[in-house]
Amino acid sequence: MRVLVTGGAGFIGSHVVEALAARGHEPVAYDVRLDPGADVRDPEAVARALSGVDAVCHQAAMVGLGTGIADAPDYVSHNDVGTAVLLAAMAEAGVRRLVLAGSMVVYGEGRYDCARHGRVRPGPRSVEDLDAGRFEPRCPRCGAFLTPGLVTEDAPVDPRNVYAATKVAQEHLAAAWARDTGGAAVSLRYHNVYGPRMPRDTPYAGVASFFRSALARGEAPTVYEDGAQRRDFVHVRDVAAANAVALEADAAGGVLTAYNTGSGEPHTVGELAAELAAAHGGPAPRVTGAYRLGDVRHVTADSGRLRAGLGWRAEVRFVDGVREFACAE
């Protein structure tokens, strides 16, 4: 297949390009870093890029959480208007296969269970609890601390920042495109992706990148809260492989199918910091107890649907991937 990869020069997109080429496809990278005119918000440029294309892998996005509602115009412009322009051009060009870079941020907090009340959805954590070092979410009915579990794709979305809201909107737009055109749309809801080419020292870098940058400066990684926040750290090469598998699969037309895309092995933020520090030979992490209002405590994936439906599974072990990342340029 000839596949247009938007954001194809970026952290994840560049690995997707390599994965597609290795499997015999013809990836076409579309990215403002390669060509200032390659903006997904430009209808004419997108229409030209879609010429002769069989499928689209949409990675281009403004990432990060945003610092507040003042960021909304930029995020909506890049993520949602850009996606709308792309989908309209695909409909016109007759391109009927889409894989979208989704995100686990659409869930807000992950899955939680109360010993008395079963599955519940916690509200925001209180400043009183956070100031006292009580970081676990509470049951909204009895106030007891909750036990985290794995979130599945049928969990309700609960976007808690501007970026998350735009990722939900992208999925709704893709679903509308699929219904209107009969196209096949897949959203891969990435969990915490890390690995080579991850951005450094920008507001959009992930926690793994912040930890590595601190170590490169000879500083201890700074860990918020108590370091016990659970995440699913998935290697970028595994994510790229998931994109290739999703593009090749016999997907149902007229609907959008969402797949959690994680390693399936939750680890804490503290574990990540400790593994990176050990691999780098740097100072041990500094657990501060500090917090940021709005941060989620735990969100980890059940990626069983992706494994069962498309035969994909993560291949890079956490320890191996972190060691490689610690030494990557």
Give residue-wise pLDDT tens across range 170-205. Answer: 999 999 999 999 999 999 999 999 999 998 765 555
pLDDT band at 66 (very low <50, low <70, confident <90, very high): low
| pLDDT band for position 293 (cuts 50, 70, 90) | confident
> What is the structure's pLDDT at 294?
76
- Quote the CA–CA distance of 243 and 310 in Å, as a whole number: 11
At 203 the pLDDT is 52
CB 273 within 8 A of CB 223: yes
Half-sphere exposure of 256 (CA within 13 A, CB side): 24
Residue 65: pLDDT band by 50, 70, 90 thresholds? low
Give whole-number Cα distances, 8 to 278, 283, 326, in Å: 32, 35, 24
For residue 113, the model assigns a pLDDT of 97
pLDDT digits (tens, 9 = 90+) for 102-144: 999 999 888 999 999 999 999 889 999 999 999 999 999 999 9
Q: Say if residue 321's pLDDT is above 80.
A: yes
Give residues with Cβ within 8 angstroms of 25, minimum separation 6: 1, 2, 3, 244, 247
pLDDT digit string, tens, across residues 203-228: 555 889 999 999 999 999 999 999 99
Length of the chain: 329
Mean pLDDT computed over 6-23: 97
**What count of Cα atoms within 13 Å lies in the side-chain half-sphere of residue 185?**
28
| Overall average pLDDT of the 72-97 stretch | 97
Q: Are 238 and 259 in contact (CB under 8 A)?
A: no
Predicted confidence at residue 67, as pLDDT, reads 59
Burial class (CB in 10 A: 0-12, 13-18, 19+), 143: exposed
**123, exposed or middle or buried, with CB in 10 Å at 0-12, 13-18, 19+?**
exposed
Q: Say what the pTM is.
A: 0.94
Instruction: Report the pLDDT value the prediction gives residue 214, as an integer from 0 to 100.
Output: 93
| Whether pLDDT at 285 is above 90 | yes
Copy the structure tokens of residue 34. Answer: 């390669």
Report whether pLDDT(278) > 60. yes
- Residue 82: partners with Cβ closer than 8 Å, 6 or more residues away: 39, 40, 41, 60, 61
Give the separation between CA 239 and CA 146, rounded to whole angstroms: 30
pLDDT, tens digit (0-9, with 9 covering 90-100), for 248-264 = 998 889 999 999 999 99
Alpha-carbon span 44 to 50, nearest angstrom: 10
Tokens of 164: 């998350």
**C-alpha pair distances (Å), 147 with each of 57, 70, 119, 284:** 36, 34, 10, 28
